[in-house]
Amino acid sequence: MTQKPSGDAAESLLAKKRRARKINKVLGEFYPYAHPELDFRDPFELLVATVLSAQTTDVRVNQITPALFARYPGPLEMAQAELPDLETFIQPTGFFRAKAKNLVALATRLVDHYDGTVPASVDELVTLAGVGRKTANVVLGNAFGIPGITVDTHFGRLARRFEWTGSDDPVVVEREVGELVERKEWTMLSHRVVFHGRRVCHSRKPACGACVVAQWCPSYGMGETDPVKAAKLLKYELAPGQEALREAYLAQTENAADIRMASQRALASGGRP
């Protein structure tokens, strides 16, 4: 039976760093295929997709972006978009009127101030409509290879459960977690933690009994600890019946995004992944 860490309130910074880096290492071994789950071909597409992902799922965004980018392939085309037309493409993502206004304003600023090129710094990215530090770090880490910690709902939840931070403020979470893990690991740490949050460490009922980092987690026991019952709570490629999908990911980690896209298309068309 997995034992919960002592949760000593006096855990030293060094001990916390060692624990955080161990969790990162084990998650990296368990999810060698972790990757951004928004589909994109260039920095502009990733920027737009990330803005659209607010208050919706990556799967939903991925369903609408192919048609969106066929119609508006770059900043100039999107800056010239008529709002009602743009809204029809992005309506399934929710809050589509506000998002459409942000996208047109964002694209206009890219054209007017950056020659239609997505800038590669946090300070510049956050001047764009609808872009905060989370979106900026997603773009920097995945489109430009600049390390960044992406504090979304999943990352923040797990960071608090791991007691890497006690804050709900994304900026504080980013800073405090960044002090625990090497900078070069920040982008992949973000993917691994988000993967784990979506698949295992759920908001309402985490699958503690099926968690590969349970022995280093001070919050072990807040969810289902029975291994058999916990296994039934797993999602995506870890869910019962999805063994073939996980095997495909493990066999072709470099092609994980393509495998995921094909799986999602099959599900959307009523088939099996």
The span from the CA of 109 to the CA of 166, in Å, is 36
Half-sphere exposure of 77 (CA within 13 A, CB side): 12
Dihedral sign computed on CA atoms, order 222, 224, 226, 230: negative
134 is catalytic: yes
* Cα–Cα distance for residue pair 23/163, rounded to 1 Å: 12
> Residues with Cβ < 8 Å from 202, sequence gap 6 or more?
223, 233, 235
Owner of token pair 């026991």: 221
Site of tokens 């048609």: 67
* Residue 152 appears among annotated catalytic residues: yes
Residue of 39, 58, 99, 152 with catalytic role: 152
Instruction: With beta carbons less than 8 A apart as the criterion, state whether 133 and 177 touch.
Output: no
Interatomic CA distance for residues 81 and 101, integer angstroms: 10
State the burial class of residue 105 (Cβ atoms within 10 Å of its Cβ: 0-12, 13-18, 19+): middle
From 17, 101, 134, 184, the catalytic residue:
134
Indicate which residues carry an active-site annotation.
134, 152
